[in-house]
């Protein structure tokens, strides 16, 4: 099957029911996308499918055939995406395991809402779990990347 991965057309010989997560990690060696729960509950495996955030652990390859997938590696190969910069500046990660999924979800949000409110951020990020509890830093980093003042609430 043909899939565009991070802007490059790939032909993969995989079972159409194989989860996208395993094609990315095991077949293509793109290990930035993490396995968390395997049930689309935690958000660690979030990637973009045609620009929309999806959970790679439950997305079968048949669904991505002929479409474009962007992983954390494709968001910005040099780490220069505004979200990646804000994440580092504000020291968002602790253990870091969920962070690629958090960043990919935030990037999908910013692509449709370039100046999100706290409510927008909370609604978009609600399905992403951070075991370390860095939610306030995650929100602050999203606002920083969007150029929105972090005033502690919606205005």
Segment 20-32, tens digit of pLDDT: 999 999 999 999 9
Residues whose CB is less than 8 angstroms from the CB of residue 54 and which lie 6 or more positions away in sequence, other chains included: 20, 46, 47, 48
User: Per the CATH hierarchy, to which homologous superfamily does domain 82-146 belong?
Assistant: [2Fe-2S]-binding domain (1.10.150.120)
pLDDT tens digit string along 116-151?
A: 999 999 999 999 999 999 999 999 999 999 999 987
- Give the residue, 126 or 152, on which the prediction is more confident: 126
Note whether 71 and 6 are within 8 A (CB).
yes
Q: What are phi and psi of 60, to 5 degrees?
A: -70, 150
Note whether 100 and 34 are within 8 A (CB).
yes
User: Per the CATH hierarchy, to which homologous superfamily does domain 2-75 belong?
Assistant: Beta-grasp domain (3.10.20.30)
Interval 106-123 mean pLDDT: 97
Same fold, 2-75 and 82-146: no
Q: What are phi and psi of 86, to 5 degrees?
A: -65, -40
pLDDT at 58 over 60: yes
3-state secondary structure of 108: helix
pLDDT tens digit string along 64-96?
A: 999 999 999 999 989 999 999 999 999 999 988
Instruction: Kindly report the average pLDDT of the chain as a whole number.
Output: 95
What sign does the dihedral 16-128-77-114 (CA atoms) show? positive
pLDDT at 155 over 90: no
- Where are the domains positioned within the chain? 2-75, 82-146
- Strands 2-5 and 68-70, sheet pairing: parallel
Q: What is the pTM of this model?
A: 0.94
pLDDT at 153: 58
């Amino acid at each position: 099957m043909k899939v565009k991965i991070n802007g490059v057309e790939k032909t993969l010989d995989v079972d159409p029911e194989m989860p996208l997560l395993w094609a990315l990690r095991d077949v293509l060696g793109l290990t930035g996308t993490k396995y968390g729960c395997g049930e689309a509950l935690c958000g660690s495996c979030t990637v973009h499918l045609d620009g929309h955030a999806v959970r790679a652990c439950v997305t079968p390859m048949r669904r991505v055939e002929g479409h474009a997938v962007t992983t954390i590696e494709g968001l910005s190969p040099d780490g220069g995406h505004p979200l990646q910069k804000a994440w580092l500046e504000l020291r968002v990660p602790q253990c870091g395991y969920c962070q690629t999924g958090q960043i990919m979800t935030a990037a999908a949000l910013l692509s449709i809402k370039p100046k999100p409110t706290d409510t927008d951020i909370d609604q978009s990020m609600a399905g992403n779990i951070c075991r370390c509890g860095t939610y306030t830093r995650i929100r602050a980093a999203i606002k920083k990347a969007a150029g929105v003042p972090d005033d502690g609430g919606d205005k």
